Amino acid sequence: ALAFGMFIARWDANRGHGVYALLTQMVALACIFSIRPSIFVPGCLLAMLVTTHHANELGLLSHGDRVNLTMLFVIIVVSCCMKYYSTVRIARDRLLLQEQAHSDGLTGLGNVHALRQDMPRLVGGRISASVLDVDGFKLCNDRLGHAVGNTILVLLADALLESFGPRGTCYRTGGDEFVVISVDLPEREQRAL
């Protein structure tokens, strides 16, 4: 787009109309697309320098025109940077939300949504599944408080991760309920772990 803008702007300059086709291309690139500033800024600067040099040789630019073009260039660069960084921030937030939607906030294990998402790849394979429920957990929460109960859940999740490692995938499916699914792990080993 910048090369096209330069070509048209030089053609316009040769006809005595100015360099505004290049500016139109730069504004379009900055406003519509999210281009890395490290690519956009040098490309625009080079296009501006070549085009304004050509217009200067033809005597089409006054001092005021050069100042206005410089100010416009700065505004375009700032808007490109703002658009790029807002796009990056939105993408990063989207990834974070996707991750949070499939993991338990307390333990970091997968949640029910992650288990449902993983089920299709497990179908047809040889799997072992363990469902764990902490007995008397409500009584612990009532007597010692939820902070202690949360600590117990985190410790249990850490113990499950340490026990199974890469041989199993652990999920927290409810308050004190956990599921561990292993692929190609014999049932006896699954129970032992």
Which pLDDT tens digit goes with each residue over 150-191? 999 999 999 999 988 888 889 998 888 999 998 888 888 888
Task: Please state the rounded mean pLDDT for residues 65-85.
Answer: 84
- Return the pLDDT at 179: 92
Q: What are 77's two structure tokens?
A: 């660069």
Whether pLDDT at 18 is above 80: no
Neighbouring residues of 101: CB distance < 8 A, sequence distance ≥ 6: 113
Q: What pLDDT band is residue 8 in, cutting at 50, 70 and 90? A: confident
Task: Please state the rounded mean pLDDT for residues 126-137.
Answer: 87
Whether pLDDT at 12 is above 80: no
Q: What is the CA radius of gyration of the chain?
A: 31
- Return the pLDDT at 31: 66
**Residue 126 exposed, middle or buried by CB count within 10 Å (0-12, 13-18, 19+):** exposed
Dihedral-angle region of residue 184 (phi above 0 means left; psi in -120 to 50 means alpha; beta otherwise):
left
Largest CA distance in the chain: 88
Whether pLDDT at 149 is above 80: yes
Q: What pLDDT band is residue 48 in, cutting at 50, 70 and 90? A: confident
Counting residues of the chain whose pLDDT is more than 90, the rounded percentage is 12
Q: What pLDDT band is residue 34 in, cutting at 50, 70 and 90? A: low
Could you identify the residue written with the tokens 């658009």?
83
Task: Please state the rounded mean pLDDT for residues 126-149.
Answer: 87
- Return the pLDDT at 67: 83
Q: What are 119's two structure tokens?
A: 């089920």
- Return the pLDDT at 43: 84
Which pLDDT tens digit goes with each residue over 92-110? 999 888 877 788 888 889 8
